[in-house]
Structures are given as C-alpha cells and as structure tokens.
C-alpha cells in the first residue's frame, strides 16, 4: 500500500535530481526520463489505450516536464508530480477527441460480480505469480477509463490518495469509492477467469 508521505531519503533524492536537471548537468534529464518513463507510460496508456498515441503523449509529457520543472516545489513526491503531468496531457488528448473520462460502469446480467464476491482484493499479492499477473492486467483493462487509471496510480504505481486527489481534481472520498468498487469488480473477474483455467 502507498505510504502517506515520501521518506526523507526519497525527498532528498527528488530534490537532487530536480536540481541536477535545472542546472543542466549532463545526463540528468535522461536519468529523470529513465526513472519515470514506466510511470508515464502506465498513466497515459491506461487512459488512452492506443500505443502510437501513448508514445506521442509520453514524449509530450516529458517535454512539458522539462519546460516546467522549475515549478516543482517538492510539496509531493516527484513521482506524483510526474504522474500529474502525464494525467493532464492524456486528459487534454481525450477532451480534444471528446472521449469522456468518467464512464458508466459496465452492465452485467444477473447478480453483479461485486455481489458474488468479497469486497477486498490484494492487487500486490495477485501480481506475484505470472498467470494471476497477466489476468490482473487484462481485467484492469476492462474497467472504465477513470477506474483503471485510479487503480494503476494507487495500487501499481503506489501514488498516495492525497496526491491522486491533487493530480485528478477528485475528492479523496470519491477516489476511495472508485477504488472500492473497482476492487470488488476485479476480484469477481479474476475469480471467474481463474475458475475457467484448466
């Protein structure tokens, strides 16, 4: 589970990296890109779901990070700030294409998956073995856009809820509600798919 505050060591490492980039030290920005390219890809890809667009938008996000890094104040982890830029770039892309960020939950016939199973899903434990890991990511991809993005940020990228609230503009209670419903739905999807496995 994400810790509420970054450790002092992480804060110092963030500051050192930002200062190195702003001082234009050789290789500093490349190091920032290497460190956060997976995070950027996960956020954008969960929202956009198109590899070519994701690649282009990640490049745009890092260009924007380079241009606005002087605005980073260290109030949240650098990871959260990078995620905010990636989210903002992807959100603008979806708005230009008139794709809604908040979608309806999928309809299901009969009892919902959430009603058939328990409420809690340990995503970290689910990611331990290969089959469950692949099923988990396939199941996350079936969720509505906002829910899969929130799950990715919170469980897979370990961004704290307070930081997710700042970067998405959603209330913390709303985020917790989305996460709760998503976990219930995912648990049902995973259990039904694992039940079908030989």
Tokens of 183: 């976990």
What is the rounded distance in angstroms from the CA atom of residue 28 to the CA atom of residue 14? Answer: 12
Give the span between the Cα atoms of 17 and 11, in whole angstroms: 10
80: tokens are 């959260």
Confidence (pLDDT) at 67: 95
Read off the pTM: 0.72
Question: DSSP letter at 76?
Answer: S
Count each helix (H run) and each strand (E run) in the chain, helices first.
10, 0
Which residues, given as ranges, of the chain have pLDDT below 70?
1-10, 102-133, 193-198
Domains, the chain: 8-96 (1.10.1740.10), 113-196 (1.10.10.10)
Tokens of 90: 């992807």
Closest C-alpha among 66, 33, 103, 76 to residue 164: 76
pLDDT of residue 100: 80
According to the model, what pLDDT value does residue 121 have? 42
Write down the pLDDT at residue 108: 43
Which residue from 146, 153, 164, 128 is spatially nearest to 41, judged by alpha carbons?
A: 153
12 burial type by CB count under 10 A (0-12 exposed, 13-18 middle, 19+ buried)? exposed
Residue of 123, 120, 126, 167 whose CA lies nearest to 146: 167
What is the predicted pLDDT for the residue at 139?
A: 81
**Cα separation of 141 and 167, whole Å?**
21
Please answer whether residues 175 and 117 qualify as being in contact, where contact means their C-beta atoms are separated by less than 8 angstroms: no
DSSP one-letter code for 187: H
- pLDDT of amino acid 109: 40
User: What was the pLDDT predicted at 132?
Assistant: 64
């Amino acid at each position: 589970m994400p810790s509420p505050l970054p450790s002092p060591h992480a804060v110092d490492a963030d500051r050192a990296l930002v200062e190195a980039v702003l001082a234009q030290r050789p290789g500093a920005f490349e190091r920032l890109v290497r460190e956060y390219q997976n995070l950027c890809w996960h956020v954008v890809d969960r929202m956009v779901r198109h590899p070519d667009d994701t690649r282009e938008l990640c490049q745009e996000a890092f260009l924007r990070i380079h241009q606005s890094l002087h605005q980073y104040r260290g109030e949240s982890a650098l990871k959260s700030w990078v995620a905010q830029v990636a989210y903002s770039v992807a959100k603008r892309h979806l708005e230009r294409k008139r794709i809604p960020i908040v979608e309806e939950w999928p309809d299901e016939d009969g009892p919902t998956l959430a009603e058939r199973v328990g409420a809690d899903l340990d995503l970290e434990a689910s990611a331990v073995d290969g089959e469950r890991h692949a099923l988990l990511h396939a199941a996350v991809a079936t969720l509505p856009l906002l829910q899969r993005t929130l799950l990715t940020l919170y469980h897979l990228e370990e961004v704290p809820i307070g930081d997710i609230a700042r970067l998405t503009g959603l209330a913390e209670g709303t985020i917790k509600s989305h996460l709760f419903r998503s976990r219930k739905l995912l648990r049902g999807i995973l259990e039904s798919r694992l039940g079908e496995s030989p």
